[in-house]
């Protein structure tokens, strides 16, 4: 009933070509009757791809989503039946995250502004760093404080969980990094010193490259990034080359380290000897934030929505590798950089030094860029009070989310890539629906600026912290 | 020996037993007068010097790591290199304005002034044999009427503003430059004693007036020339015969 059966009762048929998100054609062109809608197209794609389980897909013609039957869609858009319709299919997450809409707990504990919050990769533990120089662990089941870890001499600026969930490293304004054990709250060893100025970002080596996690890279205002080994508690390699502060660092899935700096350059380093591989030039002002298309998978490691636990590091490594390969597919890793020059660049660093696309449109500094977990979308938060959504593969602008009344500081995606969360200076958080391209939920409640937000990898909870010194947990 | 003839000899043992002479003369426990003052001054100078040398010796020669104090106002790493005044300005300004409007208090050099009673401000006109004009009042304080001022018909005029008490210029001091200019008054903005006095143009101590500052050559950040600014009256003009004010920058 799919091919050739031109007028089978209902109006007519359309010539369609199914194309993947990367541009590869799936099968030959098909004659599809007008009463074919997304569910039937899903069946077709599943069959053509020989999927064992029926996976959900979303379909796009041009830039619009195809939600009606083909006939109605053609009529609405006045498309002629003479041109072959290119239907792009995009895999959707199998699970669906419910949007958070209430504040389930306000946990006080910090005595100064909360500067960083992060869920562990399995979503079971929560850690936060604050201006009162402590790192605190919180119990999610009772929503109360668990451990208070003292050791830093100055504000705790960034925290990062290792992708196997066994360690937490925190960096402070005095330039030192401390390793913590999340199970006991104890400090593991002496502080790691070496940086001369404050730490701006920390990133762990992906678990599919090494399990258990051993190395991480830290970026600092003094212009270099250092790779540390937690078993020897030493700085292994120092990546110097930037002439100004390094604002962000990301350890990529193929073993390259990307650093963005205030000297407007992005440098790509290889990790065995710390040699500079490439310099990506193009920005006119500070590079504020970097994002990798595989970032979410690297962060969560082997854990996914099924909540499976792993007994050995090898098992974890295999699972993480499988997830990473699936996420990446055949495409190279994409990198996006957001800058003070109000624009963002989409790079494919392994292929070329030239940017793939330049994304303009923001009217003020772009503070945070983040790829969606499935890599299809890219969101950017800017001080011009808007959050913009871009196509994660081509870099084309899709939608702008307006609603905040002050600078938008940080964003976070839900694990199924259908919802986006933004935290802003105006003390509210907002949840945006990607499919409808609209505001889904407004989450007011904080008394002052919201500095850090995070959505747990299992999608159940959202945590936010800010200048009012309390941590708020939001649930459905 | 040869020395024996020079002075009165005592036995050698007695000389040895003699107490060693003091380097400094023994001072009485309590020195009085000018001598005492001199002594106290010298002693103080010696004490200060001794303290300095002790402190110098206390300071270790080894360099210690300077521990920066943990500052207040923690901000995340992405805001660290940004100018904090730019961030704080708009929000705190609007909040402060709202709070001030609520409280009725403004950030002026004279936040509180002594209230002026109506009897002091106005003089009842009790002239004439019949004293029929007692509904009229004459203002006894300095006033500003403006260039296009025309009196109401005298028969119906309730408030009389005598020309002798009308002022057009004020001596305005710039608080930072600390120099005074003779500037024209544009209007009376607010008299703290009440809106009636503001509408009459009465200037008492604490009144906010608007003055013409084109003489100062001030320019806004946008590039426009500022020609009117507020100033607050700081003296009692009815007593002094002139208006002294301080500019509100």
- Provide the domain limits for residue A428: 102-475
Residue A76 within any structural domain of the chain: yes
Q: What's the sign of the alpha-carbon dihedral B190, B196, B202, B206? A: negative
Co-location of A75 and A202 in the same domain: no
Query: What CATH number has the domain bearing residue B180?
Result: 2.40.10.310
pLDDT (tens digit, 9 = 90+) per residue, A311-357? 888 998 999 999 899 888 888 899 999 999 999 999 999 899 999 99
Q: What is the mean pLDDT of residues B64-73?
A: 69
Residue B134 within any structural domain of the chain: yes
CA distance B76 to chain A (A): 5
- Give the whole-angstrom CA distance, residue A122 versus residue A119: 8
The burial class, CB within 10 Å (0-12 / 13-18 / 19+), for B204 is: buried
Cβ pair A153:B67 closer than 8 A: yes
Phi, psi of A43 (to 5 degrees): -60, -45
Co-location of A58 and A114 in the same domain: no
**What residue in B sits closest to A131 (Cα-Cα)?**
B74
Cβ pair A113:B74 closer than 8 A: yes
**Residues 6 or more apart in contact with residue A95 via CB below 8 angstroms:** A305, A415, A416, A459
Residue A96 within any structural domain of the chain: no
Query: What CATH number has the domain bearing residue A41?
Result: 3.10.20.90
Question: Which chain B residues touch A115 with a CB distance below 8 Å?
Answer: 74-77
Cβ pair A406:B72 closer than 8 A: no
DSSP codes, B179-219? -EEEEEEEEEEE-TT-HHHHHHTB--TT-EEEEE-GGGTEE
Co-location of A47 and A178 in the same domain: no
Cβ pair B74:A153 closer than 8 A: no
Question: Which chain B residues touch A132 with a CB distance below 8 Å?
Answer: 70, 74
CA distance A118 to chain B (A): 14
**What residue in A sits closest to B74 (Cα-Cα)?**
A131
Co-location of A126 and A68 in the same domain: no
Q: Are A178 and A151 in contact (CB under 8 A)?
A: yes
Tell me the residue ranges of DSSP E strands in B88-136: 122-124
The confidence band for B104, taking pLDDT boundaries of 50, 70 and 90, is: low
Co-location of A223 and A313 in the same domain: yes
Q: What does the pLDDT read at residue B222?
A: 61
Q: What does the pLDDT read at residue A118?
A: 94
Co-location of A306 and A402 in the same domain: yes
Query: Which tokens sit at A206?
Result: 């992906």
Co-location of A85 and A203 in the same domain: no
- Give the whole-angstrom CA distance, residue B214 versus residue B181: 11
Q: Which of A50, A49, A59 is nearest to A86 (CA)?
A: A59
Most confident segment among A65-69, A468-472, B30-34, B88-92? A468-472
- Among residues A71, A91, A111, the one where a domain terminates is A91
Between B87 and B238, whose confidence is greater?
B238
Q: Are A90 and A58 in contact (CB under 8 A)?
A: yes
pLDDT higher than 90, residue B221: no
Give the single-character DSSP code of A2: -
Co-location of A177 and A86 in the same domain: no
| Distance set, CA A111 to CA A146, A470, B70 (Å) | 16, 9, 13
Q: Are B208 and B220 in contact (CB under 8 A)?
A: no
pLDDT higher than 90, residue B186: yes
- Provide the domain limits for residue B238: 118-247
Co-location of A166 and A75 in the same domain: no
Between strands B225-226 and B137-139, the pairing is unpaired
Residue A275 within any structural domain of the chain: yes
Residue B70 near chain A (CB below 8 Å): yes
Q: Are A365 and A382 in contact (CB under 8 A)?
A: yes
**What residue in B sits closest to A172 (Cα-Cα)?**
B77
**Residues 6 or more apart in contact with residue A426 via CB below 8 angstroms:** A404, A405, A406, A449
Q: Give yes or no for a cis peptide into A212 (omega within 30° of 0).
A: yes
What is the enclosing helix (H) or strand (E) of A216? strand A215-220
Q: Are A359 and A392 in contact (CB under 8 A)?
A: no
Q: What does the pLDDT read at residue A476?
A: 85
Q: What does the pLDDT read at residue B9?
A: 59
Site of tokens 């040869």: B2
Q: Which of A188-202, A243-257, B22-36, B149-163 has the lowest mean pLDDT?
A: B22-36
Residue B111 within any structural domain of the chain: no
Cβ pair B70:A199 closer than 8 A: no
Co-location of A308 and A397 in the same domain: yes
**Residues 6 or more apart in contact with residue B66 via CB below 8 angstroms:** none
Co-location of A109 and A72 in the same domain: no
CA distance A419 to chain B (A): 24
Residue A265 within any structural domain of the chain: yes
Q: Are A131 and A113 in contact (CB under 8 A)?
A: yes
Q: Are A398 and A379 in contact (CB under 8 A)?
A: no
Q: Which of A271, A274, A300, A277 is nearest to A118 (CA)?
A: A300
Between A11 and A432, whose confidence is greater?
A432
- Give the whole-angstrom CA distance, residue B247 versus residue A27: 80
Co-location of A225 and A292 in the same domain: yes
pLDDT (tens digit, 9 = 90+) per residue, A24-48? 888 888 888 888 888 888 888 888 8
Question: Which chain A residues touch B83 with a CB distance below 8 Å?
Answer: none
Cβ pair B77:A131 closer than 8 A: no
- Give the whole-angstrom CA distance, residue A156 versus residue A179: 12
Q: How many domains does chain A have?
A: 2
pLDDT higher than 70, residue A452: yes
Interface test with A, best of B78, B79, B84 (most A CBs within 10 A): B78
Radius of gyration of the CA atoms of chain A, in A: 23
Residue A64 within any structural domain of the chain: yes
Question: Which chain B residues touch A245 with a CB distance below 8 Å?
Answer: 81
pLDDT (tens digit, 9 = 90+) per residue, A48-83? 888 777 788 888 887 777 877 887 887 787 777 677
B56 three-state secondary structure = helix
| Distance set, CA A309 to CA A169, A234, A317 (Å) | 22, 30, 12
pTM of the model: 0.66
Between strands B169-173 and A156-161, the pairing is unpaired
Q: What is the mean pLDDT of residues A183-201?
A: 92
| Distance set, CA B121 to CA A43, A191, A307, B114, B141 (Å) | 92, 74, 82, 13, 6
Question: Which chain A residues touch B78 with a CB distance below 8 Å?
Answer: 247, 288-289, 367-368, 409
Q: How many domains does chain B have?
A: 1
Query: What CATH number has the domain bearing residue A330?
Result: 2.130.10.10
Q: What does the pLDDT read at residue A3?
A: 43
Nearest by CB to B76, from A116, A221, A406: name it: A116
Q: What's the sign of the alpha-carbon dihedral A272, A275, A280, A286? A: positive
Phi, psi of A116 (to 5 degrees): -150, 140
Q: Are A288 and B78 in contact (CB under 8 A)?
A: yes
- Give the whole-angstrom CA distance, residue B115 versus residue A312: 83
Nearest by CB to B76, from A286, A406, A451: name it: A451
Residue A2 within any structural domain of the chain: no
Residue B242 within any structural domain of the chain: yes
Question: Which chain A residues touch B91 with a CB distance below 8 Å?
Answer: 406
CA distance A451 to chain B (A): 7
The confidence band for B108, taking pLDDT boundaries of 50, 70 and 90, is: confident
The burial class, CB within 10 Å (0-12 / 13-18 / 19+), for B17 is: exposed
**Residues 6 or more apart in contact with residue B18 via CB below 8 angstroms:** none
**With left for phi above 0 and alpha for psi between -120 and 50, is residue A143 left, alpha or beta?**
left
Q: What is the ipTM of this complex?
A: 0.83
- Among residues A60, A91, A122, the one where a domain terminates is A91
Residue A4 within any structural domain of the chain: no
CA distance A275 to chain B (A): 26
């Amino acid at each position: 009933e799919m091919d050739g059966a031109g007028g089978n009762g209902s109006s007519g048929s359309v010539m369609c070509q199914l194309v993947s998100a990367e541009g590869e054609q799936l099968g030959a062109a098909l004659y599809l009757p007008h009463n074919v809608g997304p569910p039937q197209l899903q069946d077709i794609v599943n069959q053509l791809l020989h999927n064992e389980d029926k996976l959900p897909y979303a379909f796009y013609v041009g830039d619009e989503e195809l939600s009606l039957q083909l006939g109605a869609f053609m009529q609405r858009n006045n498309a002629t039946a003479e041109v072959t319709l290119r239907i792009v299919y995009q895999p959707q997450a199998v699970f669906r995250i419910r949007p958070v809409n209430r504040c389930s707990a306000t946990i006080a504990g910090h005595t100064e502004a909360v500067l960083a919050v992060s869920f562990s990769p399995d979503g079971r533990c929560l850690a936060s760093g604050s201006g009162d120089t402590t790192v605190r662990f919180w119990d999610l089941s009772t929503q109360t404080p668990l451990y208070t870890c003292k050791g830093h001499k100055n504000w705790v600026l960034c925290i990062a969980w290792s992708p196997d969930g066994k360690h937490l490293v925190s960096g402070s304004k005095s330039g030192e990094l401390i390793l913590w054990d999340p199970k006991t709250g104890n400090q593991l060893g002496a502080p790691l010193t070496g940086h001369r100025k404050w730490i701006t970002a920390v990133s762990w080596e992906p678990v599919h490259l090494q399990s258990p996690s051993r190395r991480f890279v830290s970026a600092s205002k003094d212009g270099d990034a250092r790779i540390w080994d937690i078993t020897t508690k030493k700085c292994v390699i120092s990546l110097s080359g930037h002439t100004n502060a390094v604002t962000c660092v990301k350890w990529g899935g193929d073993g390259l380290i990307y650093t963005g700096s205030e000297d407007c350059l992005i440098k790509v380093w290889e990790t065995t000897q710390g040699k500079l591989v490439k310099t990506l030039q193009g920005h006119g002002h500070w590079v504020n934030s970097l994002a990798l298309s595989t970032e979410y998978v690297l962060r969560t490691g082997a854990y996914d929505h099924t909540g499976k636990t792993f007994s050995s590091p090898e098992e974890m490594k295999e699972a993480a590798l499988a997830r990473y390969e699936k996420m990446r597919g055949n495409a190279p890793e994409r990198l996006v950089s957001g800058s003070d020059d109000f624009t963002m660049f989409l790079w494919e660093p392994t292929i070329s030094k030239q940017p793939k696309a330049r994304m303009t449109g923001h009217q003020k500094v772009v503070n945070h860029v983040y790829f969606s977990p499935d890599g299809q979308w890219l969101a950017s938060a800017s001080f011009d009070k808007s959050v913009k959504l871009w196509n994660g593969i081509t870099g084309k602008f899709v939608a702008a989310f307006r609603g905040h009344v002050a600078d938008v500081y940080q964003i976070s995606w839900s694990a199924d890539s259908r919802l986006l969360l933004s935290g802003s200076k105006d003390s509210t958080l907002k949840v945006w629906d990607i499919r409808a391209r609209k505001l889904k939920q407004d989450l007011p409640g904080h008394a002052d600026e919201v500095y850090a937000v995070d959505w747990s990898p299992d999608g159940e909870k959202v945590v936010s912290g800010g200048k009012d010194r309390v941590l708020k947990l939001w649930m459905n | 020996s040869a020395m024996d003839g020079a002075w009165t000899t005592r036995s050698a043992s007695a000389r040895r037993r003699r107490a060693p002479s003091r380097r400094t003369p023994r001072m009485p426990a309590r020195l009085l007068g000018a001598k005492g003052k001199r002594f106290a001054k010298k002693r103080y100078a010696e004490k200060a010097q001794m303290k300095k040398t002790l402190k110098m010796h206390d300071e270790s020669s080894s360099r210690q790591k300077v521990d920066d104090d943990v500052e207040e106002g923690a901000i995340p790493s992405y805001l660290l290199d940004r100018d904090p005044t730019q961030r704080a300005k708009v929000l705190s300004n609007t909040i402060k304005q709202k709070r001030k409007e609520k409280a009725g208090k403004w950030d002026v050099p004279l936040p509180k002034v002594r209230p002026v009673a109506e009897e002091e401000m106005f003089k009842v006109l009790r002239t004439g044999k019949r004293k029929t004009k007692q509904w009229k009042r004459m203002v006894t304080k300095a006033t500003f009427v403006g260039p296009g001022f025309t009196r109401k018909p005298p028969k119906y005029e309730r408030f009389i503003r005598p020309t002798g008490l009308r002022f057009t210029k004020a001596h305005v001091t710039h608080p930072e430059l600390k120099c005074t200019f003779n500037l024209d008054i544009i209007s009376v903005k607010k008299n703290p004693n009440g809106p009636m006095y503001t509408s009459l143009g009465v200037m008492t101590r604490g009144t906010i007036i608007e003055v013409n500052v084109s003489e100062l050559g001030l320019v806004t950040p946008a590039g426009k020339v500022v020609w009117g600014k507020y100033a607050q009256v700081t003296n009692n003009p009815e007593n002094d015969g002139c208006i002294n004010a301080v500019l509100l920058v």
